[in-house]
Structure 1
């Protein structure tokens, strides 16, 4: 149903193009003959511009120039209805019920006149509806029907018929440009925010939110709108580039430092899209993309990626992704990318949550504390902040090597207990030795030490082995795929022997970890648990690799 708009116009308004049409100027209908045209031209020249009257007469009598006047007037409309429309224009009031039943061409001509009388004070939704109706009306013009209406009027007026639609095509092309100009001039007379919102609503309605093509007149109007808004969009794009550079510079200061700049970026981006949105929607309905919008969206997405990847600001990246998803939904080629980014951020958030949960669990696992000593007690503790011993705290990542073990005591062959010894090699500090008597303290501490430090040290060992390094423990040397053991033979070459892991077996004896050749008891090497660094660690890796049947130690952690 057509939206009815009543146009209130003051008496000082200038004449519309429809009122300046030769037919209207001379008070004629399309069915008046030559005699009536001459008569009315002479009569009207008495009280309006005589030159204008003579030109109007000439235009209506000449069949070729008459066609242009017919296309710009009300062909096929009865003289009574045409008179009503003319009177309404002169009285400065016109309503949609005067034209809504007209054929598309005369209806479009009346609506073009209404464009000249719109003040911009109407609701934006009414303006948008008017634009859509106008565009649909022009789209509905059929030149065969127009030709028929013109020729019927000419027959009554005694003028030669227009032979084919080819004769109408050229004048119709000019007429379409006049319609676009009328709409553009109407919008130019409005406030900027009203203009933008009216065009946006019109495009959204006309395309059904990208479900159909808009009428050609509306596409042409949006193209003209794009030209007019280009300086603003270019200036805002430059502003965004500057702000994005500032955001990246601020990011080193963390979330608090970068947030004000992100607020400004969001404001500028929203301003950009509020102006560019009708262009985006129109382009999308035509199977194209608004390149400037794509460039802006790409730069904003890159900012989010850099804030996360280079500065660890996941919340900022999430903010950019949500903002882009909200503002740039009309960029078809960008939708899949944004959806993928959103999934990635969701995954990162889940990973961060899982890591926090794992970190909390890890902190509980490594937590240990005990008092060591009888009279003068020293605090021994393990926590995420480090290892505490004798009033000093050593960060966990500062511990480079470890060794520990126990030595049983006895008097005259009677066991009297066990001395437990733990040593830590600290980067940038002296070696720390921890001597204990209580087995529970020793067991609790070494278990916490294993989870807090030794897992990291073993991973470091595997990384070094994978790079081709050789590691030394006691009397043997370890490579990723081989081990070198000494030979203990008196009457033969005693040089070290390099063996594959499949050629050796392992065991423990006398406080040592031993590796020997399967078929030769004279080929073996060992490392002391209590005296040699990281013996417990290399034993764990070797036994673990053997259990998996791995040919290399680095296969221990692989699937």
Structure 2
């Protein structure tokens, strides 16, 4: 009951009135109000057991005149009661609870303050002190003192139920969103964000709220499961990020909606040293997804978004907060490392671009421009993409006239299988500069492609010889019969150079040999580089150069 429903208020009686005065007041009031109500009130106040309920629900410890003033204030300015001090806890809490029932249009912060005052007030009610106050007034009024402490404790628990009903009634007047905000504000205030045990009354409010919110939480949890499965399937099927990104955003929003409603439950559970199992389930589900899409598919950005959201919404769920904090640090470190590697790669690319870019003019009277850059090679109106080039040659030919050297012509040959051409110059500087860049931009790639092909079982023909990963097949020429073939491992072969040629021979029988012209056959410089590197590094296979 609230104060206006209390028998003391109905009869206009005080806790110090004796039986005779209560009967007189009942007779007087029955002339103005409902007689049955007045007689019931008299019965409640004159029966020692029933009287205890009315006493606990009234204003014990407050003088009759002061009680009248407070009831008048309750009717005229109920919002002013929050500022009252130096009142017994039970009396102030009864006043505040009754005032709250008469207020409307409270915003979330104000209602949270009222809930806080009622909860703290109830927490301060002591059964022993209550019995002492009631017995002092019973001595004056002539009623027998209360000896049974349990009966006082029972009535206090009845007030606890009533206060919960009053608070719940005030909350029910709010929109669903404001209701959640109000309970969350109150719980956070009363528990210091879950760090301390809150008053028992706020625990009751949250427990009641959880029962009513359960249907929504269960429904949203099912939605979260559905979105998680859709997102997992999207990344497994290698669908574009334009498909996955909206699913990530949707999942984040649904989890936030779920958490908004679960927030007061989470904070309350934390303050009581309990786990909120549903929060652990949802957080575990999303965390496992974040870990999976990064570990299995490298989706760092999506994983960071989900982990950041988990850190934000589950900050009050201890174990989850710790794990997601560690996840967040790990992912941030990876992101920083990636950014650093990308920056380094960008720097290397810029350096490589500078290193392979070269422009020269070739010709005596009519100069042609020779250009090499990451965009390709340009010569006499033709363009080769670097990745399309399949064959390269280069070398120098010294010319003589009447035994006198007339200089050296340096030649470079480029082919992509569809078009090929020689580039000739007498300027050694141009030749060396261009060959240096041709090797970096094309030669290294061709070398790698040969080695990868050999490792995969391919063979390649160079002149009359056949190259494989384990060695080469060489020929010995015969005059009147077919040439004899012999396969030699790399340990059985030796290499040498002649004028304009690269020679490979069998150590113990040099008739098995092949001489490959640098200017007449493609990629002889590539072959020579591969064999030379292999001999330096060791290994029975040429592809060992690539490592594991």
TM-score exceeds 0.5: yes
Q: Contact 2:210–2:265 at 8 Å: present in 1 too?
A: yes
Q: How does 1:72-471 map to 2 (within 5 A)?
A: 72-93=57-78, 95-96=80-81, 99-120=84-105, 125-150=109-134, 153-154=137-138, 157-159=142-144, 161-165=146-150, 167=151, 171-190=155-174, 195-225=179-209, 277-285=263-271, 286-289=273-276, 291=278, 295=282, 329-330=315-316, 332=321, 333-374=323-364, 377-426=367-416, 430-438=418-426, 439-467=428-456, 469-470=458-459
Match of 1:13 in 2: none
Tell me how far apart the structure 2 counterparts of residues 400 and 31 of structure 1 sit (CA, whole Å): 112
Match of 1:5 in 2: none
Sort the Cα spacing of 1:487 and 1:273 in 2 relative to 1 into closer, same or farther, 3 A. same
Sort the Cα spacing of 1:413 and 1:101 in 2 relative to 1 into closer, same or farther, 3 A. farther
Q: What secondary structure sits across from 1:335 in the alignment?
A: helix
Q: Contact 2:227–2:247 at 8 Å: present in 1 too?
A: no
Task: Give me the CA root mean square deviation.
Answer: 4.9
Sort the Cα spacing of 1:258 and 1:476 in 2 relative to 1 into closer, same or farther, 3 A. closer
Q: Tell me if 1:52 matches 2:52.
A: no
Residue 430 (structure 1) shift: 0.3
Residue 114 (structure 1) shift: 2.7
Residue 366 (structure 1) shift: 1.5
Tell me how far apart the structure 1 counterparts of residues 160 and 471 of structure 2 sit (CA, whole Å): 88
Instruction: Choose the corresponding residue for 1:43, options 24, 28, 38.
Output: 28
> Residue deviations 1:91-110, cap 9 Å, x none?
34463477533343333322
Sort the Cα spacing of 1:213 and 1:407 in 2 relative to 1 into closer, same or farther, 3 A. farther
Return 342-351 or 215-224, whichever deviates more: 215-224
Residue 208 (structure 1) shift: 2.7
Sort the Cα spacing of 1:405 and 1:280 in 2 relative to 1 into closer, same or farther, 3 A. farther
Tell me how far apart the structure 1 counterparts of residues 134 and 449 of structure 2 sit (CA, whole Å): 92
Tell me how far apart the structure 1 counterparts of residues 396 and 513 of structure 2 sit (CA, whole Å): 23
Unaligned runs of 5+ in 2: none
TM-score after normalising by structure 2: 0.76
Tell me how far apart the structure 2 counterparts of residues 155 and 517 of structure 1 sit (CA, whole Å): 127
Match of 1:537 in 2: 526
Q: Contact 1:21–1:72 at 8 Å: present in 2 too?
A: yes
Tell me how far apart the structure 2 counterparts of residues 145 and 401 of structure 1 sit (CA, whole Å): 102
TM-score after normalising by structure 1: 0.75
Q: Contact 1:421–1:433 at 8 Å: present in 2 too?
A: no
Q: Tell me if 1:26 matches 2:15.
A: no
Q: Contact 1:485–1:516 at 8 Å: present in 2 too?
A: no
Q: Contact 1:485–1:523 at 8 Å: present in 2 too?
A: no
> Residue deviations 1:122-175, cap 9 Å, x none?
7x555433333332333333444445545555565523635243x455554443
The size of the alignment, in residue pairs, is: 532
